Amino acid sequence: MNHQFWNKAAIYGILLALITILFSVLQTVLPSDSKILGFSLWAIKLAGTVGLLFYVMKDFGKGQDTYLYANAFKFGLAVSFCSSIIAAAYYYLHVMFLFPESSSQNFFGLPCWLTEPNTLRTRPLLTNASKPWTFQLSLPCTTNGNRFRNCWNVYGKS
């Protein structure tokens, strides 16, 4: 049973990694000027990976008498683990050898203020200080000799 579990997880992990690799290559090769194209590729990749993962989790449980949510979760986690190892190995090849100029691009689609080093301290991720008793998420900063500050600050009238 355990041997069959990991064999199927590896095969489905390869399929899941191939989807990730395909869309990574498409995002690198196609012109990146269009935000609509980038968002469309991201949305298709997300739908494809989540849909495939949902399908393989259901497919693995077809031949079993009892198939609990815990079993589906374990199989999905194993598929994701196998896929992440393959995708990470490809990403190393992608950045180091195949497309070295793509390492200057923002590969994961993060906002530029999360990747630029000087703007992390000045722009918080979430600000809602105008309402009483709201939370503000701020990143650790290095001002005034404090290495780390509290990430959650409570604002409000006392």
Give the pLDDT of residue 153. Answer: 40
- DSSP string computed for 5-64: HHHHHHHHHHHHHHHHHHHHHHHHHS-S--HHHHHHHHHHHHHHHHHHHHHHHHHHTTT-
Give the pLDDT of residue 106. Answer: 52
- Looking at residue 104, its amino acid is S
Burial of 35 from C-beta contacts in 10 A (0-12 / 13-18 / 19+):
exposed
Q: How far is CA 98 from CA 24, 29, 83, 86, 105, in A?
A: 12, 11, 20, 16, 14
pTM above 0.75? no
Give the pLDDT of residue 11. Answer: 96
pLDDT tens, N- to C-terminus, the chain (158 residues):
588 899 999 999 999 999 999 999 998 888 777 888 888 999 999 999 999 999 999 999 998 889 999 999 999 999 999 999 999 999 999 999 998 887 665 545 544 444 455 544 444 555 555 544 444 444 444 444 443 343 334 444 44
* Tokens standing for residue 69: 């949510």
Give the pLDDT of residue 117. Answer: 54
- Looking at residue 114, its amino acid is L
Q: How far is the first Cα of the chain from the last one, in angstroms, to the nearest whole number?
A: 60
